[in-house]
Amino acid sequence: MVNITHKSNTLRKAVAQAVVKVGSQQTIQIIQENKVPKGNIFEMAKVAGLFAAKKTSDMIPDCHPLPIEYTSITYVIKGLEIYIHVEIHTIYKTGVEVEAMHAASVVALTMYDMLKPIDKNIVIQHIKLLEKKGGKSDKKDTFDLPLSASILVCSDSISKGDKKDRAGKIIMEKLQNIGVKVEDYEIIPDEKNDIQAKVKEYIAKGINMILITGGTGLSKRDVTPEAIQPMLEREIPGVSEAIRSYGQNRTPLAMLSRSIAGLIGNTLVITMPGSTKGAEESIDAVFPSILHIFKIIEGAQH
């Protein structure tokens, strides 16, 4: 199966449709009068659809098992056609569109099975996804101008050439993948004054985002939070909380990170761990949803 461990749980919804077309008005009348020999097709098919929704991952090889937290199965009769609508909700890392279509298909097949003794001209058709909500696809903001970012790597060992930077490169790659233009990429030692000087330089250039990796731990040379905290005009605790919560689900050491985030003027500043995995997970935890900040800055409402 596709690896989804990097994703965060979000509310996901999907609505799917299937249509059962019968051969005559007489069949519709029998259904409406609840005279189908095998029983009430609406109730039986609904039960089958509920089972199908829960068992999708057992039937479709690449589907991830996920919690089905809400299922609605409704019917509308239009002429000789019975429209089946299945709506499914979950709070998980991946969507439920296949679950919704699988359930709609099984509902239609159950109706077919129950009606075939009295009607030989039944057709199942138009099985499709009507609506899908949730996940990162719902959080993609568009902007008149591209957003810009500066990446600052704070590390004594990397600045001396003893080690190679990987965290900053990962951040750069992920930002470029979501359309953010990286204007600056620099490596400096863990020095409070140097960090503050670089941040002031980037702000003077009108950079939208400053992403700092390194110096958020608990060693004596980890001073990035101490450098950035007094510069912040408006701290955004939820960002650092999201980063730590996301990381804690993947390593028990994430709680030791002292990452902080906030605004200096209209520039978003985020500090994150210096480890490659820590930096990568920090970006995955809050991007691209965090870009909505710039819509708010422009005057849009939540």
SS (HEC) of 116-141? CCCCCCCEEEEEEEEEEECCHHHCCC
Q: Which of 253, 292, 291, 295 is nearest to 274 (CA)?
A: 253
CA atoms within 13 A on the CB side of 115: 29
Instruction: Choose, from 58, 62, 113, 190, the residue flagged as catalytic.
Output: 113
CA-to-CA distance for 12 and 99, rounded, in angstroms? 12
Q: Establish whether 113 is a catalytic residue.
A: yes
C-alpha dihedral, 99 to 100 to 102 to 105, nearest 10°: 170
279: Cβ–Cβ under 8 A, 6 or more apart, which residues?
A: 167, 168, 170, 171, 213, 272, 273
State the catalytic residues. Answer: 113
